Amino acid sequence: MKVHIEGNLYLESDELSFIIREYTGKTDKQGKKLCKTHGYFNSIQAAVKHIVKMKVKESTANTLSELIQDIERIEQWIESKLSV
């Protein structure tokens, strides 16, 4: 499985785990796409929680109320990605 989240960020899976990877747009000498792995997770829910945490860390909030607004915006963004 390889699911696009946004930009160069993807949720992937192997036989053991779910993986969040961010592709750099570069390739190695063998032509393999280079990426930064943000983590390995035992469930999709754990991976989604990590994505929320990544987005919260990007916040520029200066007050608690601004941070809460950012978290609500991030949760709405996640829900919009998951809705079918």
List the domain range (segments joined by +) for residue 18.
Answer: 2-82
Q: What is the pLDDT along the chain (84 residues), one digit of tens a residue?
A: 998 888 999 999 999 999 999 999 999 999 999 999 999 999 988 998 999 899 899 999 999 999 999 999 988 888 787 654
Supply the pLDDT for residue 75. Answer: 84
What's residue 83's pLDDT? 55
- What is the C-alpha to C-alpha distance for residues 48 and 32, in angstroms, rounded to an integer? 26
Overall domain count for the chain: 1
> What does each C-alpha distance from 28 to 5, 23, 37, 43 come to in angstroms?
23, 12, 16, 30
The confidence score (pLDDT) of residue 48 equals 87
Alpha-carbon span 22 to 6, nearest angstrom: 10
